[in-house]
Amino acid sequence: MTAAITGLANALPPQHDQGALWRDFFADHFGQRRAAERAWAQSGIARRHGVVDPRIEDVSTWGTRARMQRFLAEAMPLGKDALSAALDDAGLAAEELDQLVVVSCTGYATPGLDILLARDLGLAPHAQRLHIGHMGCYAAIPALAAASDAARARAQRVAVLSVELTSLHVQPPDPDIEQVVAHALFADAAAAAVLTPGPGLEIRDFEARTATAHADLMAWDVTDRGFRMRLSPRVPTVLREHVADAVDTLLARHDLDRADVAAWAVHPGGPRIIDVAADRLGLDEGQVAASRHVLAERGNCSSATVLLILEELRDRGELTHDGPVVALAFGPGLTLYAALLHAGGA
């Protein structure tokens, strides 16, 4: 039995102009430093979305409890909209779902989004639930792996929902350039995928690499002032060492090579991440155009981003022809996850 993505959708909070965010808030927040302004300008982002507009509401002094309460209030309607749209896209009613997988590294509550959304959307009482928390930007891919296993082995209909609200974690002023980069890159989104047995954007295989010797290069620390990003400029260098081997290993198991791949969904951790992945994999600008577009118009939405790119590829018509599709995402660990999909229902 095969498992395939048959529905994709997203829900976004209000849009903010990247330049205006710098001029009207973050320039003062980071002390009007020229190096900070350069780092902001190099983000590759023109617009992004956020439940919090820091020009109106400065949450940088909030405690973690207040941020978590706000997370639940904002994530519920976004998650409900994204899930409902993905179910409509797949032609399923909520009560037909057998399992709901919720992914987030930006907020928590118990009862969680999985329980509350199951209640509000009308999932059946027997519907199973899985929450994947604090894995970071790559988490949607292991979520798809778990969902595809359930669809393939037990004929389940599964929804994967990623909700990331990084705007809730603006930190107090700090001269650390890593904080400037983190605040420049990350944005908010909810994205959902529905997986069912049978034809569609078939999910075939996965590959992972975790460079534990470099675990300190990227982290998402829980503090008394929300969650604080650690993001070393050495991340692209480590990624360069592993991305080609991971992709080639994944493809080789299916007697494929890079030239066979019809479309690429490369997580845009930042412009340098896309550059490194493209260089090591031999991809041209057209093959990473969807990734750059999502970065420019949405920002880095953590785990939701790879689902947004798959939706962008579909909307561009790049998933209409029969052929392999590779999705890549990177995050703490330092971890790389790759998924092999197949478009065209073959």
Instruction: Give catalytic residues, as residue numbers.
Output: 137
The pairing of strands 99-104 and 128-133 is parallel
Return the ∠ at Cα 20 (arms to 15 and 24), rounded to 5°.
120
Helix spans in the chain (H): 18-21, 27-29, 34-41, 64-90, 113-121, 140-154, 177-185, 235-252, 271-281, 289-298, 305-315
What is residue 170's DSSP assignment?
P
Rg (CA), the chain: 19
How many H-runs (helices) and E-runs (strands) does the chain carry?
11, 13
- Say how far apart CA 268 and CA 309 lie, in whole Å: 9
Ramachandran area for residue 91 (φ above 0: left; ψ -120 to 50: alpha; else beta): left
How many Cα neighbours within 13 Å face the side chain of 319? 25
> What's at 189, amino acid-wise?
A
- Say how far apart CA 248 and CA 250 lie, in whole Å: 5
What is residue 171's DSSP assignment?
P
- Say how far apart CA 136 and CA 5 lie, in whole Å: 22
- Say how far apart CA 232 and CA 214 lie, in whole Å: 10
- Say how far apart CA 175 and CA 277 lie, in whole Å: 29
Say what angle helices 305-315 and 140-154 make with each other, to 10 degrees. 70
Q: Maximum CA pair distance of the chain? A: 58
